[in-house]
Chain A
């Protein structure tokens, strides 16, 4: 019976969570569609959430591209297919690693920041103060962060793609003596503009997930500092899980049917 109780409770909580996120998304879309947007705050969030995440995204993408090239280049040369390394690195970076790695890194940094900031505002009654002043918290806080993530995460993914490929090219050249021209030629033959667009589309979806999950966790914070901690952890864990799940679904829908 306890197992069934737990299962039932878990199902209800999951559905409530999904309903809450959907409602938050609906309210946000309502404000965006009617252009009730705080443009100055959105720009500010673009800087805080996007530009300030650039270094960490560049570093993780650079080293991931380098590791991928290191692992693949030597073996590819041994099997006589060194000319394919550029294509493999570029293909993986643009379609999967760039969008997903940048999203995971940003989920850790930005998702936590959004949940912590809004959560702290809940426990210090600042959210209630906004409502009391007839300022909907969704318009005031959530919409600028959502738009900032929709704009900035694809841009970060482009940087991640480029840095990952450049890092891979350098390693391929240094350790497997694959010429840069061969590497780039292979990359250009393998990936096309649609691949880049599909990768950026993924980033937009990941940006929406990070902003909405972070904001929702923040808004439902209860119980002081401990509650803020739980909200922050919950935002990061949930965002990352959802990013992996939606990445699989999107990859299947965008590439899997070819």
Chain B
């Protein structure tokens, strides 16, 4: 692959007690592209996002953001690294006690010296770009699941990060909202530039948005390529996963 990686998991292994989550996992996140990671439930896909956001450290191997190995970076310096990365959580993870506007503006209010009026304008623009222009004063409990995910996107993009990580952005949503959110991820990446990583089971949505697809199986990346390359993959595990078949090498 010739494209320049923005981030890289290099021979990463991670264990929870006796359970192997990732084993010698290597993955390049291409700069300026949307990389989607697919795999079975519990395969460790979300863990990859936590590693890229420096929220977890691997037991073995290295995680690079640019040329910097964030596994050996002190916590105080990781704060600066995380400011260039945004993680959109599966269930949005908005703070219950704050309004949507306060949630979205939180990283700006806490981490920058920008005047309140300027922050308010940026937050309103971010909410507008995800179709939630009139929810500034609503509490998270007043929004639907799809709206919460979009508010989570707004919080993720408000700081204009270089890398946006989406954890299962379409899980549990109806087909119309799924399409809307998939389209929004592509639109936001084009509008803001930067790089995105999406974790999802939703193959239809992945084929719509992905520049590159990686399949994670038993802790390692077993297939990587463009959408067409993955669709044509000779790997029987990939083919069984894409077909959603019970018959094949994947143990049920």
User: Footprint of B on A, CB under 8 Å?
Assistant: 120-121, 124-126, 128-135, 140
B82 close to A134 (CB less than 8 A):
yes
Contact A125 B93 (CB under 8 A): yes
Instruction: Please indicate the chain A residues that have their CB under 8 angstroms from the CB of B93 in the complex.
Output: 124-126, 128-129
Question: Is A134's CB under 8 angstroms from B107's CB?
Answer: yes
Please state if B110 and A135 are interface contacts (CB–CB under 8 Å). yes
* Distance, CA A128 to CA B167, complexed state (A): 13
Chain B: interface residue total (CB-CB under 8 A): 22
Cβ of A133 and Cβ of B91 under 8 Å apart? Answer: no
Closest to A41 in B: B97
Give me the interface of B with A, judged by CB distance under 8 Å: 50, 53, 55, 79-80, 82-83, 85-87, 89-91, 93-96, 106-107, 110-111, 155
Q: Is the CB of A129 within 8 A of B87?
A: yes
Q: Check B79–A132 contact: CB distance below 8 A.
A: no
Chain B residues with CB under 8 A of A134: 79-80, 82-83, 107, 111
Q: Assess whether B89 is in contact with A128, with CB atoms less than 8 Å apart.
A: yes
A-B contact pairs, 10 of them (CB 8 A): A121-B95, A124-B93, A129-B89, A130-B95, A132-B82, A133-B82, A133-B107, A133-B155, A134-B82, A135-B110
| Cβ–Cβ contact B96 & A126, under 8 A | yes
Minimum-distance CB pairs A-B, first 5:
A129-B93, A125-B93, A134-B79, A133-B107, A132-B87
Q: Are A124 and B55 in contact (CB under 8 A)?
A: no
Query: A55 CA to B93 CA in the complex, in Å?
Result: 34
In the complex, the answer to whether A132 meets B83 with C-beta atoms within 8 Å is no
Chain A residues within an 8 Å CB radius of B94: 126, 129
A125-B90, A130-B95 given; 9 more Cβ-contact pairs under 8 Å: A125-B91, A126-B95, A128-B50, A128-B89, A129-B95, A131-B55, A132-B85, A133-B86, A133-B110
Is A135 touching B106 in the complex (CB atoms < 8 A)? yes
Distance between Cα atoms of A126 and B89 in the complex (Å): 9
Instruction: With both chains docked as a complex, state the minimum distance between the C-beta of A48 and any C-beta of chain B, in angstroms.
Output: 10
Question: Which residues in B have their C-beta under 8 angstroms from that of A133?
Answer: 82, 86, 106-107, 110-111, 155
Q: How far is the CB of A195 from chain B (nearest CB, A)?
A: 40
Determine the chain A residues whose CB is within 8 A of the CB of B79 once the complex forms: 134
Q: How far is the CA of A129 from the CA of B86 in the complex (A)?
A: 9
- The answer to whether A135 touches B91 (Cβ under 8 A) is no
Please state if A135 and B107 are interface contacts (CB–CB under 8 Å): yes
What CA separation (Å) do A28 and B146 show in the bound complex?
37
Contact across chains for B87 and A124 when beta carbons are under 8 A apart: no
Q: By CB atoms of chain B within 10 A, which of A121, A126, A130 has the most? A: A126
How far, in angstroms, from A134 to B78 measured CA to CA in the complex? Answer: 8
Closest residue on chain A to residue B56 by CB atoms = A128
B83 to chain A, nearest CB (A): 5
A179–B50 CA distance with the chains assembled, in angstroms: 70
* From A120, A121, A128, A132, contact of B86 by CB (8 A): A132
Per the bound structure, the CA–CA distance linking A139 and B16 in Å amounts to 28
